[in-house]
């Protein structure tokens, strides 16, 4: 199993550009999440999904959009990039119930907006 | 809303024991998780406490007191590779296993 994969690893955007961060998991997890992590800080939840076709806002959703058309994929869309969106973005997934409620994280995408 | 407090930095000697504390305030609480993150890496799961008491996994243990809104991560027999950031995170009541993370404690292990 590859686990959670994210592309690209790095990206530089100009102010006002748009892009999509890709996230795919092969563990058949129902729940998926997008976080951002600013330097020296904890992770903040942007959006989450409990299954295909179902998404909801997290703590910091402004400036982002998501979709979940399949169990495996959960892309994050940035429209009109701003310098405040410079961050490291992590995608994660978890099984729906039971156990330790562990979230499995992808390797992250480092985004710089200039 | 939720808030978590952790010390920002801790330094400990190789082979020693270190405790990283976490206090939380939350409007809904299911459990407390701990994650490790090495520089440039992704967070990885260490432990989860839903009930009061101590959970042990190898060299790492985690404790929770729900009445005190307090938990800690205990690392024993410290190794240089344990140098990393450690985050506590509250699992909330959204029904999606959502986590609210603290700002992290940077642990430096010295020889």
Q: pLDDT tens-digit profile of A6-37? A: 999 999 999 999 999 999 999 999 999 999 99
- Provide the chain A residues 57-96 that lie in CB contact (below 8 A) with chain B: 58-59, 90, 94, 96
Contacts of B48 in chain A (CB under 8 A): 100-102
Find where tokens 């959204």 sit.
Answer: B94
pLDDT-derived band at B62, boundaries 50, 70, 90? very high
Q: What pLDDT is stored for residue A66 in this prediction?
A: 98
Q: What pLDDT is stored for residue A9 in this prediction?
A: 97
Contacts of B102 in chain A (CB under 8 A): 42
Contact B96 A105 (CB under 8 A): no
Give me chain B's average pLDDT, please. 94
Q: What pLDDT is stored for residue A10 in this prediction?
A: 97
Structure tokens belonging to residue B52: 């009061």
Structure tokens belonging to residue B11: 């330094």
Q: What pLDDT is stored for residue A32 in this prediction?
A: 96
The three-state DSSP-derived secondary structure of B32-63 is EEEEEECCCCCCEEEEEECCCEEEEECCEEEE
Q: What pLDDT is stored for residue B1 in this prediction?
A: 74
Residues 6+ apart with CB under 8 A from A25: A3, A4, A5, A32, A72, A74, A91, A93, A104, A106
pLDDT-derived band at B84, boundaries 50, 70, 90? very high
- What average pLDDT does range A39-45 have in this prediction? 92
Residues 6+ apart with CB under 8 A from B9: B105, B106, B107, B108
pLDDT in tens, A50-102: 999 999 999 999 999 999 999 999 999 999 999 999 999 999 999 877 677 89
């Amino acid at each position: 199993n590859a686990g959670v994969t994210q592309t690209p690893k790095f990206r530089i955007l100009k102010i006002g550009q748009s892009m999509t961060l890709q996230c795919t998991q092969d563990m058949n997890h129902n729940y998926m999440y997008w976080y951002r992590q600013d330097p020296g800080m904890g992770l903040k939840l942007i959006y989450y999904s409990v299954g295909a076709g179902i998404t909801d806002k997290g703590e910091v959703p402004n400036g982002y959009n998501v979709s979940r058309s399949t169990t495996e994929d959960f892309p994050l869309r940035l429209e009109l990039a701003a310098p405040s969106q410079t961050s490291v973005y992590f995608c994660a997934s978890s099984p729906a119930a039971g156990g330790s409620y562990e979230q499995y994280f992808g390797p992250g995408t480092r985004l710089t907006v200039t | 809303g939720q808030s978590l407090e952790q010390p920002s930095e801790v330094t400990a000697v190789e082979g020693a024991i270190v405790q990283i504390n976490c206090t939380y305030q939350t409007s809904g609480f299911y459990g407390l998780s701990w994650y490790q993150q090495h520089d440039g890496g992704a967070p990885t799961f260490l432990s989860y406490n839903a009930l009061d008491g101590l959970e042990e996994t190898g060299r790492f243990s985690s404790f929770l007191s729900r009445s005190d809104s307090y938990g800690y991560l205990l690392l024993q027999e410290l190794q240089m590779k344990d140098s990393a950031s450690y985050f506590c995170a509250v699992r909330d009541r959204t029904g999606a296993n959502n986590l609210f993370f603290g700002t992290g404690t940077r642990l430096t292990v010295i020889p």
